[in-house]
Structure 1
């Protein structure tokens, strides 16, 4: 099995994360600050350099004004649509 970071699904995951951040009208710096992390944290996440565990993903969703279920639905839709 190919490592997740090299799969199309991972690219789409990152695209959905970035889109949700932009739609929430937050900069990387604002989002990182809300998570008590340096600005480079969100940059690394969006570039795929840093991976999130489930708890971190949930925290990020809360900061972005959504929840893990809504994020998962958006991610699944993006996968189906082939974004």
Structure 2
């Protein structure tokens, strides 16, 4: 399996996370404070410079009170829609 920061799937994931943050009214620094990480951590994720693992994704989603399974379902729907 090829890991690519530039894959279509990764771009969809990053866009979804960015939209969640913005729609929640949080700045990168606000989210970083909630996660107890530097603001640069959030910046690197959103810019695609850094990949996140599932545990990190789950912690980020908790900050938005977002259900992990619902998020993953929406992610799969967006990926499948882009393939049509």
TM range (shorter): 0.7 to 0.9
TM-score (norm 1): 0.86
- Tell me, which stretches of 5 or more residues in structure 1 are unaligned? none
Could you give the per-residue CA deviations for residues 18-74 of structure 1, whole angstroms, max 9, x where no partner exists?
011111111111001100001111111101111111111100000012121121122
The answer to whether structure 1 residue 77 and structure 2 residue 77 are counterparts is yes
Across the aligned residues of Structure 1 and Structure 2, the Cα RMSD in angstroms comes to 1.4
- Tell me, which stretches of 5 or more residues in structure 2 are unaligned? none
Moved more, 66-75 or 32-41: 66-75
Partner of 1:4: 4
Partner of 2:52: 52
Shift of 1:2: 4.3
Aligned equivalents of 2:51 and 2:3: distance in 1? Answer: 13
What SS does structure 1 have at the residue aligned with 2:5?
A: helix
- Figure out how many residues of one structure are paired with residues of the other and give that number: 82
- The runs of at least 4 aligned residues of structure 1 exceeding 3 Å deviation read none
1:16–1:78 CA contact under 8 A, matched in 2: no
Aligned equivalents of 1:23 and 1:70: distance in 2? Answer: 17
Partner of 2:15: 15
2:12–2:75 CA contact under 8 A, matched in 1: yes
